[in-house]
Amino acid sequence: MSIPSFPIVFSLEGEVALVTGGGTGIGLAIARSLHAAGARVVVVGRREAELAAAVQSLGAGSSYIVHDVTRFDAAAALIERVANEAGPVSCLVNNAGNNLKKPAVATTTDDFELVLRLHVLGAHALTAAAAKGMIERKRGSILFTASMASLFGIPLVIAYTAAKSAYVGMVKAYATEFSPHGVRVNAIAPGWIDTEMSRKALGADPARRDKILSRTPMARLGDPVDIGWAAVYLSSPAARFVTGVILPIDGGASVGF
């Protein structure tokens, strides 16, 4: 097999990318980078106003669908709709998520279930639905947005930690099962990224911001585009022999002291 030349090896021309939670933050950054690399991008989420604004900023070659990923029985219909409107999904980005900040002893089973339903079961429903067509076509890329919570302990987020840690095992299992059929499965584990949400949270908690920066060797927050370009790489021909990987994009936080 010949290797495409630079920059074609990073091109996503002809690909159709479905990005869940793609209206804001890291999801939008991923959508924007995939779009810039040439992919036809469909962003999915529950809030139409945010999705519409995202698509307006992306421009031609993008669209949105209002969808709740916890409607597991609607996953196949979503994949079919995207195929009819934009083309068969060749790149799925499981980015939709929620969080719950509570002491572990105060986290109820109902709390836990709400987080797991969105991150784990919602992602699985879409992955299973999208992978069927990818396996038939013998090509595709599936990405998960993992977390530092996938890699080490963070207090007060036990349900989120369980969900993001589950991604580590899911990615390895999917990769082992799907990769013989030409479908690669990987995850990105963002460190602390400078989003509107993080600015609000850390602005109200300077001690937490100082702790984060002190344990990040690069001593700063990341930019959402850092995650977006990593998603382009993992979805592109440049990563054609990369599967089952959890890639930290974290300024060294996962290895720093």
Q: Which residues of 126-163 are buried (b: 16+ CB within 10 A; e: fewer)?
A: bbebbbebbbeeeebbbbbbbbbbbbeeeeebbbbbbb
DSSP secondary structure letters along the chain: -PPPPTTGGG--TT-EEEEETTTSHHHHHHHHHHHHTT-EEEEEES-HHHHHHHHHHH-TTEEEEE--TT-GGGHHHHHHHHHHHT----EEEE-------B-GGG--HHHHHHHHIIIIIIHHHHHHHHHHHHHHHT-EEEEEE--GGGTS--TTBHHHHHHHHHHHHHHHHHHHHHGGGTEEEEEEEE-SB--HHHHHHHHT-HHHHHHHHHT-TT-SPBPHHHHHHHHHHHHSGGGTT--S-EEEESTTTTT--
Whole-angstrom Cα distance, residue 56 to residue 142? 25
Contact 169, 121 (CB under 8 A): no
Whole-angstrom Cα distance, residue 179 to residue 127? 14
Known catalytic residues are 160
